[in-house]
Amino acid sequence: QVQLVESGGGLVQPGGSLRLSCAASGSIFSINTMGWYRQAPGKERELVAGITSGRSTNYADSVKGRFTISRDNFKNTVYLQMNSLKPEDTAVYYCNTKYYKTWYDVRNTNELDAWGQGTLVTVSS
């Protein structure tokens, strides 16, 4: 099994910053994409940012220029630096990874999916 452990959420004032971390561990042969999603009350889960194993990134339009995603492939860890936070960024943030468990899965393109438990980010004065 793969476990994703998130940290870094909390309460911050508008305009402030937070850094989220997510470490993957367990039966992992290789990790492809790592990403962050968020879900605000009464809304659907949405992609915030993603990063490939080659470090190509993509962002939701609402966070471009404010959030930065990065990863440490040796530590199987993904980060989300969030600056200039707004009240509308308030949500539970979830880490996601798409990975291969074994070389057999790589050969058969059997990509697996794992989610973290979520960390709450509250932006409020």
The DSSP-derived string for 20-72 is EEEEEEES-SEEEEEEEEEE-TTS--EEEEEE-TT--EEE-TTTTTTEEEEEE
Residues in the chain with pLDDT values less than 50:
none
Per-residue model confidence (pLDDT) at position 12: 98
Per-residue model confidence (pLDDT) at position 115: 97
